Amino acid sequence: MRNPKIIRRNDAVKIIKPDLFLRCGYPLSLKDMVREIDAHYGEIIEDLVYSVGKGDKFMRRNEKGFYEDGVNLIPALKIKSESDVRNNPRYEILKMFAYPRLVAKQFGGNQRTIHTEYHEELKDRVTTVYNINFVKTGIRQPSWRSGNMYDGYEYEPPYLENQETHKILELAIPVDFKTKVFTSITVDGEQVDSIFIEDGNVEKMS
């Protein structure tokens, strides 16, 4: 017999605690590193991209934000938002540098947790479950090896200590109570077509 309390695909649910799921992982992410590198080196990388396209001389923008291209002044691209960065050639370069920086910082620690973003406007909204996934949290323990070629070796693979499994629901974008149209939602700097949330933050509708 099916348990009526278990949330399944196509079930209607009410959002009780609007902590939207961003990711399950360690304290630092690739996106964090892209933002960090961009903050420190974004303009230099942008200048390099521009210079490579123009010729063999590295051109830095002046204090007013212009490239001195011969007798002309060419305005440098102004980055106003994170989406501007993603649509810019320098984004691919930033991503190349992100993983080595992430490894160098050891992912910010060994605690694997759920990262969320609170959205008050979604509280008590009713929507539908699109899909269901499961993620695991815990403390990463590295592999170890001991012994020698004469007595044999012992090997323990890496594992998660204090491991817990979490049920993550993918939900349809809720309809706005007043306008009766789908709400436009930006999560972690990006406009999304669906939202994710842990099952303990919703209530199944009967």
CA distance 22 to 135: 12
* pLDDT of 87: 63
* pLDDT of 92: 82
Helix, strand, coil percentages in the chain from 3-state DSSP, rounded to 5 = 25, 40, 35
Q: Place 105 in a pLDDT band, splitting at 50, 70 and 90.
A: very high
Three-class DSSP category at 157: coil
* pLDDT of 45: 84
Reported as type and span, the H/E element at residue 44 is helix 30-54
Q: Place 171 in a pLDDT band, splitting at 50, 70 and 90.
A: very high
* pLDDT of 15: 96
pTM (global) more than 0.75:
yes
Asked whether the predicted pLDDT for residue 25 surpasses 90, the reply is yes
Domain residue spans of the chain: 12-27+109-204, 30-106
* pLDDT of 198: 98
Q: Across residues 165-186, what is the average pLDDT?
A: 83
Pairing of strands 152-156, 144-148: antiparallel
CA distances from 73 to 49, 61, 67, 76, 138 (A): 17, 10, 6, 9, 55
pLDDT digit string, tens, across residues 70-100: 545 555 555 444 555 566 677 888 888 999 9
For 137-163, letters b (16+ CB in 10 Å) and e give: bbeeeeeeeeeeeeeeeeeeeeeeeee
* pLDDT of 79: 46
CA geometry: angle 126, 134, 30, nearest 5 deg: 100
Q: Would you give the DSSP letter of residue 193?
A: S
Three-class DSSP category at 1: coil
Integer Rg of the chain from CA: 24
Q: Place 178 in a pLDDT band, splitting at 50, 70 and 90.
A: low
Structure tokens at 132: 């269901």
Asked whether the predicted pLDDT for residue 173 surpasses 50, the reply is yes
pLDDT digit string, tens, across residues 106-146: 999 999 999 999 999 999 999 999 999 999 999 999 887 77
Instruction: Report how far apart the first and last C-alpha atoms of the chain are (Å, whole number).
Output: 17
Average pLDDT, the chain: 84
* pLDDT of 63: 75
pLDDT digit string, tens, across residues 56-72: 888 887 777 777 765 45
pLDDT above 70 coverage of the chain, percent:
82
